[in-house]
Amino acid sequence: MEHGRGTVLVRYGEIGTKSSKVRIDMERLLRDNLESMLASRGVDATVDHEWSRLLVRTDSPDKTDAACDAACDTFGVVSASPARSVAPTAETIYDALRDAAADHPDGATFAVRAKRAGTEDEHPFTSRDLEREGGSVVEAETGAGVDLDDPDRTYYVECRAEEAFVFTEKRSGPGGLPLGTQGTAVVLLSGGLDSPVAAWEMMKRGCSIIPVYVDLGEYGGVDHQARALSTVGELARYAPERDLSLRIAPAGDIVETLMSEVGATRMLSLRRVMLRIGEAVAREVGAHSVVTGESLGQKSSQTGGNLAATDVAVDLPVHRPLLTRDKTDIVDQAREIGTFDDSTITVGCEQVAPSHPETNATPEEVAAAEPADLLARADAVGRTVEVVAPDR
């Protein structure tokens, strides 16, 4: 027999350290975002805010799993636990423990950890009582051994004045801050592997994103564009009800010019063009920055010196969330968040790269080798983007 309704306990972290006004706004947004996430996944549930955490109530216990997954994909959530919610009496708590022990893994040691809020007047038992008695209940049910120091499974009991929770799992969420608390950033999205991870990292810290793909004409390709659009679709899963339409900027003519008129610093000029396009879009949509998936030294255009030479082309800050990350680590994360794609395509700009690229150009050298109207052309391209909605 199943004891209790389906509930998911949702914990958040950094929000709790904010001043009360900021915290209240962030908590409200986290709750709204979680509700949207649940709705987008067809999980019928309500979200309450109690005791510095959120409680998701599902209409049936078998929906707690899906509700917990939704919570663990919501930015700002540190961890979540599918729980049994029961009346706060010793007997109902032990019944719930017995239920929870039904799927105890064979041979696994265990511990019961209980937290009882309130006073002895409210509850005629202490946390220690719950742990001791609860331990006997689980032991009788499973025959498993107790290990208080390093248990294979922990049975958690949280007993409040009106309600008690029993759970065995704490699943990790992304952490960070609720989406929508940190304004909007433009993300240069290439169809490659790094830039969607960079976008996700910004979203994790609360930033809404506007993705921009720069169409390199002959040097890009429909497959890159299609890949960029499909990664936007993956990112959109983390941002239900938000517009993540891809902006496609037609830069084929500019690339032609670079190919015929610029040599060793061509790639850096292309970077500058991309940043300027991003900046033009940012101005249009009111974004505060431009984000790239660049990582220090990953490519010749990403040496410290070259990043400096490209940044001076724009006034807005350029954020690079992956600056210090190793490729293997970025690949692992792409798999984890669902933006990884097995198919290998040559990134368009590799075909633009000169055979002997400049690795340490000064901004002056790059600018001097560039056609005088290059960046103005980039601005114009940034104002004529095509907007394409992703499949959700």
**Taking CB within 5 to 8 Å according to partner kind, which of Mg ion, ligand ATP, none is near residue 347?**
ligand ATP
- Which of 96, 347, 352, 374 lies at the binding interface for ligand ATP (CB under 6 A)? 347
Query: According to the binding rule CB under 6 A, does residue 213 interact with ligand ATP?
Result: yes
Find the shortest distance in angstroms from Cβ 79 to ligand ATP.
Answer: 30
Closer residue to Mg ion in complex, CB, 278/293: 293
Residues 252-271 that bind ligand ATP (CB under 6 A): none
Grouping H, G, I as helix, E, B as strand and the rest as coil, residue 391 is: coil
Dihedral in degrees, nearest 10, Cα atoms 375, 378, 383, 389: -150
Could you give the CA distance from residue 321 to residue 195 in angstroms, rounded to a whole number? 9
Q: Which amino acid is at 27?
A: E
Closer residue to ligand ATP in complex, CB, 212/254: 212
Cα–chain-centroid distance for residue 337?
Answer: 7
**Taking CB within 5 to 8 Å according to partner kind, which of ligand ATP, Mg ion, none is near residue 190?**
ligand ATP
Q: Please report, for residues 96, 278, 283, 289, 318, the alpha-carbon distance to residue 315 in angstroms, rounded to integers and kept in the order given.
A: 59, 11, 11, 9, 9
CB distance 290 to 198 below 8 Å:
no
Closer residue to ligand ATP in complex, CB, 34/274: 274
Find the shortest distance in angstroms from Cβ 275 to Mg ion.
Answer: 15
CB distance 126 to 90 below 8 Å:
no
CB distance 66 to 5 below 8 Å:
no
Grouping H, G, I as helix, E, B as strand and the rest as coil, residue 180 is: coil
Residue 118 is assigned to a ligand binding site: no
Q: Please report, for residues 229, 243, 377, the alpha-carbon distance to residue 388 in angstroms, rounded to integers and kept in the order given.
A: 8, 10, 22
Write the interaction track for ligand ATP spanning residues 172-211; mark x where CB under 6 A is met and - where it is not: ----------------xxx-xxxx----------------
Residues that bind Mg ion (CB under 5 A): 194, 293
367 secondary structure, DSSP code: H
- Which of 11, 160, 283, 299 lies at the binding interface for ligand ATP (CB under 6 A)? 299
Residue 323 is assigned to a ligand binding site: no
Q: Which two tokens stand for residue 17?
A: 């350290």
Residue 293 is assigned to a ligand binding site: yes
Quick count: other Cβ atoms within 10 Å of Cβ 197? 26
Q: Tell the residue number behind the tokens 């490519």, with chain if given.
A: 299
Closer residue to ligand ATP in complex, CB, 212/337: 212
For Mg ion, the nearest residue by Cβ is 194
**Taking CB within 5 to 8 Å according to partner kind, which of ligand ATP, Mg ion, none is near residue 213?**
ligand ATP
Closer residue to ligand ATP in complex, CB, 26/232: 232
Contacts of residue 346, Cβ cutoff 8 Å, sequence gap at least 6: none
Torsion sign, CA atoms 231, 232, 234, 235:
positive
Stretch that binds ligand ATP, among 56-64, 134-142, 256-264, 288-296 (CB under 6 A): 288-296
Closer residue to ligand ATP in complex, CB, 101/322: 322
Annotated binding site for ATP: 188-189, 271, 293, 302
Question: Which spans of this chain sit near ligand ATP (rule: CB under 6 A)?
Answer: 188-190, 192-195, 212-214, 216, 220, 274, 292-294, 298-299, 347-349
